[in-house]
Chain A
Amino acid sequence: MDLSAINPVLLIASLMVAATPLLLAAIGELIVEKSGVLNLGVEGMMITGAIAGFAVSVETGSPYVGVLAAAFAGAALSLLFAFLTQFALANQVASGLALTLFGLGLSALMGQGYVGVRPPEMARLDMPVLSDLPVVGPILFSHDPILYFGIALTAGVWAFLKFTRGGLILRAVGENHDAAHALGYNVMRVRVLAILFGGACAGVGGAYISLIRVPQWTEGMTAGIGWIALALVVFASWKPWRALLGAYLFGGINVLQLNLQAAGVAIPVEYLAMSPYLITILVLVIMSADKSGAPASLGRSFHASQ
């Protein structure tokens, strides 16, 4: 065992990379849940985004087109969920599960020809002086653009929810859809848009895993990150900045356990690998005492006749 082999600067830099897919998916789901909809299909949308982004990147040679395609793929899949829950008024839990099962199968099918292929690389930020700074450089100024996009998105969502009229309507729909409907807001439209946004975010998060973090395609490669993102929203009490904090925390745990595996700690690999999931459970237990942040209409169907 050699703990000195773990470089703290690289650890933090890779922590941010590990946290980004989680953050993207969680921010998307946060908006969905703020509108009063519980979409359990995050895992399915992420893995579909992962393969769609990967395949399009490989075919076009541009990772950016790939990320865009992933956003489309995630949104397209979430549209199915929107149809089921908003138009057909199906149970949200069951529909979300269906989305995940379907997404896992679809991605495996789409990914047949892409196992072992290397995707085109996304250029990292390279600023003349800043990126070469000793500690700050690798941590802050030499990442890929999507990572910064994730942080910007967090800020954007926070500002949207706090300062804009649209954010107010979204929250109203999530807190009390009957009142929002009585005020003349189109509950269904708001929710469908929120679901689409959540799908696009999850898709990009998935593409981040297959294009930047790993980068290659393997079946079922999201390995529960979509589910952890759902837990993260609870952890964050539906607040964007806390989602960022939580994502970095989870990313940190994951990177640390990978580093410990590499450093050859006496704990068997399998037990280290299960730690992120166990910690997720622990966090859920601690956070579930306080449910005050949850939107009041979360998970309830709305039909104008009722």
Chain B
Amino acid sequence: MIALEKRPEPSRLLAMGTPLIAVIVTMIAGGLLFAALGKNPFEAIRTIFWDPLFGEYAFYYRPQLLVKGAPLVLIAIGLSLGFRAGIWNIGAEGQYTMGAICGAGVGLAFYPSESVLIFPAMVIAGALGGWAWAMIPALLKVKFGTNEILVSLMLVYVAEQLLASMSLGLLKNPQGFGFPGSRNIAEWDAATSWIAQDYGMHWGVVAAMIAVIMAYVLLNRHILGFNIRLTGEAPRAARFAGVKPARLILFCLGMSGMLAGLAGLFEVAGPSGQVSIDFNVGYGFTAIIVAFLGRLHPVGILLAGLLMALTYIGGDIAESQMGLPAAAIQVFQGMLLFFLLALDLLTNYRVKFAVKGAA
């Protein structure tokens, strides 16, 4: 008979260790999945996790790690603040899209100016776009007690439709021969977010690093960060300590929306280059996995974001070289979250194998 005994304190060692165990278990389960699809599992795992870093063409793939990792880390840092306090923003995908639309819109309004102010203006517009989109669920929750999970998610679908409308209408490239999609912002010097494209460096990478540091300082050295953690771990105690839940909701949702909006702006002005119908590729949802895999800890999120970026890049390679379906990587990422949540049990509980009746 298996019995669970609650630990007085969550095990610190296991809290750090479970993400690693989850990754290994997912690799095994993923290998079985790939084998079931008729691919050599060892080759698949090597292609996904080894080749982008140390393979023959690694010089090409390594910069991609920054390109794919930056938006994931940036969004996940924002999400982790709310998740810690029990505020569930799962509409980051929508905020990301809105940041891109607003930022690109402001930039394109001044095309083809070469002013140095264009990019900063776009950054501000992108941040505000994401922030405003997240303030909708935040204000509705504060004012009416509406569930922020459902509202933020509904807004993802609204943002998708807006994106389609924008890339077919308002922001469509006037010189694009009628094709949908905006002008290419990445090729416009005053507005591009690239710093050094050959190395995968763009302003989003810089912003992600700053976000990691700021989040670390906030959570460990600032009263606001303490209040966020307190609210998540002991809501009643937080209320007695005078923490205002409404303010926390506005801050956490606003902050995560802003970071998601920034991620969208940096993406549209760099790696993606234009506002188009298929601009959003699910970073906002994958970032949820990143946040949990990183234990909602800034440094953990940084590592988890890089690992997730690796699965994206490795997945692409496996798709082109081995014909592994792109959806298999999505399943792989989903499994990772499953195993992580299941293994969390070990952090909070002791598993005891006791003989029934003895005791």
- Best-surrounded residue of A80, A87, A223, A284 (most CB of chain B within 10 A): A284
In the bound complex, do residue A270 and residue B153 qualify as a contact, i.e. CB atoms below 8 Å apart?
no
Q: What's the count of A-B pairs with C-beta under 8 Å? A: 137
List of A residues within 8 angstroms of B285 by Cβ: 101
List of A residues within 8 angstroms of B149 by Cβ: 40, 93
Does residue B133 face the partner (Cβ distance < 8 Å to A)?
no
In the bound complex, do residue A274 and residue B158 qualify as a contact, i.e. CB atoms below 8 Å apart?
yes
In the bound complex, do residue B342 and residue A83 qualify as a contact, i.e. CB atoms below 8 Å apart?
yes
List of B residues within 8 angstroms of A289 by Cβ: 144-145
- Among the listed B155, B161, B325, B338, which residue makes an inter-chain contact with A102, where contact means beta carbons less than 8 Å apart? B338
Does residue B13 face the partner (Cβ distance < 8 Å to A)?
no
- Best-surrounded residue of B154, B165, B289, B325 (most CB of chain A within 10 A): B154
Which size bracket describes the interface of B in this complex? 35 or more
Given contacts A89-B349, A98-B334, A227-B150, contact A105 B327 (CB under 8 A): yes
List of A residues within 8 angstroms of B161 by Cβ: 270-271, 273-274
In the complex, what distance in Å separates the CA atom of A102 from the CA atom of B328? 10
CB distance from A29 to the nearest CB of B (A): 12
Which B33-51 residues have a C-beta within 8 angstroms of A? none
Which size bracket describes the interface of A in this complex? 35 or more
CB distance from B153 to the nearest CB of A (A): 5
Residue-wise interface mask of A (110-154) relative to B, using a CB-CB cutoff of 8 A (1 in contact, 0 not): 001000000000000000000000000000000000000000000
Which A39-94 residues have a C-beta within 8 angstroms of B? 40, 80, 83-84, 87-91, 93-94
Does residue B88 face the partner (Cβ distance < 8 Å to A)?
yes
In the bound complex, do residue A105 and residue B145 qualify as a contact, i.e. CB atoms below 8 Å apart?
no
- Among the listed A102, A231, A285, A303, which residue makes an inter-chain contact with B6, where contact means beta carbons less than 8 Å apart? A303
In the complex, what distance in Å separates the CA atom of A80 from the CA atom of B338? 8
Interface of B, helix, strand, loop or mixed by DSSP = helix
In the bound complex, do residue A268 and residue B165 qualify as a contact, i.e. CB atoms below 8 Å apart?
yes
Given contacts A274-B161, A278-B158, A280-B154, contact A288 B331 (CB under 8 A): no
List of B residues within 8 angstroms of A303 by Cβ: 4, 6
In the bound complex, do residue A102 and residue B162 qualify as a contact, i.e. CB atoms below 8 Å apart?
no
In the bound complex, do residue B169 and residue A288 qualify as a contact, i.e. CB atoms below 8 Å apart?
no
In the bound complex, do residue A305 and residue B4 qualify as a contact, i.e. CB atoms below 8 Å apart?
yes
Does residue B121 face the partner (Cβ distance < 8 Å to A)?
no
| Chain A residue at smallest Cβ distance from B86 | A93
Given contacts A84-B338, A112-B327, contact A101 B154 (CB under 8 A): no
In the bound complex, do residue B6 and residue A90 qualify as a contact, i.e. CB atoms below 8 Å apart?
no
Which B139-164 residues have a C-beta within 8 angstroms of A? 140, 144-147, 149-151, 153-158, 161-162, 164
Q: List 14 A-B contacts (CB under 8 A).
A: A87-B345, A88-B341, A102-B338, A106-B331, A108-B330, A112-B325, A273-B161, A277-B154, A281-B151, A285-B140, A285-B146, A288-B147, A305-B4, A306-B6
Given A109-B327, A224-B154, 12 new contacts (CB under 8 A):
A93-B88, A94-B341, A102-B337, A104-B330, A105-B328, A105-B333, A228-B154, A268-B165, A270-B165, A274-B157, A289-B144, A291-B145
Q: Which residues of A contact B (CB under 8 A)?
A: 40, 80, 83-84, 87-91, 93-95, 97-98, 101-106, 108-109, 112, 219, 223-224, 227-228, 230-231, 234, 268, 270-271, 273-274, 277-278, 280-281, 284-285, 288-289, 291, 303, 305-306
